[in-house]
Amino acid sequence: MTVSLALRNSPRVSAKTKEKVRKMAEKMGYRPDPEVARLMSRLRQAGGRRSNAMIALADLSVREPGTEDGYFRQIMQGAQERAEALGFRVLQAMLGEMKCSVPRLFNILYNRGVNGILLLPPKLPLTLSLELDWSKFAVVSTTYAISPHLVNRVVPHQFVDMSRVLRRLKGAGFTRIGIFFETDFEERTMYQFTAAITLLGLADWIYRTPSRHSLNELEIRDWIVGRRPEIILTPFVEQLHPLLGKLPEATRPKLYSLGVSELEKIPCLDQRPRAIGAYGINLLVGMIHNSEFGLPELPATTM
């Protein structure tokens, strides 16, 4: 059993014993049979309290329940559907609801038999402590907004997406293209959108506001009247739409959503959040089956 656990990188075996077993396995020329490994993983998943049968969808930011945006909710939905399709139970671990620290949350998840954690996009950019104990879990992130880059992640290819959007708009005859961001949005997206905007010569057309929930109506109206954009791209069309409705029709720009929008008839960039969640689960399950727990030596980003 000790040999089996050591070869599966189990946190139940000391680092010294793991190294001893690995050296002996290498000396003997041992190679795991992937079909046997897959079968044993399924058998372990089928029974026992400490099984691989549960995945946590974790939001490590503190937000009020019910305030999640559509992008967040669709990532959760895609992840939950995919995890259940692969036979895993899903635990939603929302730090704001559980009212505990991140280390305490990790202990709770481990004690509930969780082996895999999918990190969801936080409300604001989040920096995690290097002192956290990751060794018991396989972990995948679905966001750039959690730093430092310690774990594998699955994210949209936002530089390519924005480049395509802007080139299509320019090809359709738009020349005055406004972009409205919250001040922390560019950091949350690792400046992928901003890089594409700058590359295509539109950096001066970015309007930054501290928060989508406290838009300065007078400033925005003056900016629009002065710059006369033909179209505005923004991740918060719901908040901007009623404000633009107060402008004279002759100066009212079109709207284009850079996120999931509940408004009808407004074109949007579909970043496929449900697919992001599902691909994140695919990667996470593969890591669990291969016993890839703890922090990877070289964290990878899948776009």
Position 49 scores a pLDDT of 41
Residue 81 and residue 53 in contact, taking contact as beta carbons nearer than 8 Å: no
One fold for 34-155+276-302 and 158-257: yes
Position 140 scores a pLDDT of 97
Can you give the residue ranges of every domain in the chain? 1-31, 34-155+276-302, 158-257
Distance, CA of 10 to CA of 17 (rounded, Å): 11
The tens digit of pLDDT for each residue in 205-224 reads 999 999 988 899 999 999 99
CA dihedral 258, 277, 212, 169 (to 10 degrees): 0
Position 83 scores a pLDDT of 95
Position 180 scores a pLDDT of 97
Q: At what angle do helices 217-227 and 237-244 cross, to 10 degrees?
A: 70
Position 41 scores a pLDDT of 62
- CATH code of the region 34-155+276-302: 3.40.50.2300
**What are the backbone angles phi and psi of residue 295, rounded to the nearest 5°?**
-80, 130
Q: How do 206-209 and 177-182 pair as beta strands?
A: parallel
Position 85 scores a pLDDT of 93
The tens digit of pLDDT for each residue in 36-47 reads 666 666 665 555
Q: Which residues of the chain have pLDDT under 50?
A: 48-52
CA dihedral 9, 10, 14, 18 (to 10 degrees): -30
Nearest to 57 by CA among 74, 42, 41: 74
Nearest to 179 by CA among 216, 223, 144, 222: 223
Task: Tell the residue number behind the tokens 């691989």, with chain if given.
Answer: 52
Distance, CA of 75 to CA of 284 (rounded, Å): 14
Sheet of 138-141, strand order: 89-94, 54-59, 116-119, 138-141, 152-154, 301-302
- Residue 61: CB atoms within 10 Å: 18
Residue 52 and residue 44 in contact, taking contact as beta carbons nearer than 8 Å: yes
Nearest to 240 by CA among 269, 271, 261: 261
Indicate the CATH number of 158-257 among 3.40.50.720, 3.40.50.2300, 3.30.450.20, 3.40.1440.10.
Answer: 3.40.50.2300
**Residue-by-residue DSSP string for 70-89:** HHHHHHHHHHHHHHHHTT-E
Query: What DSSP character marks residue 203?
Result: G
Position 51 scores a pLDDT of 46
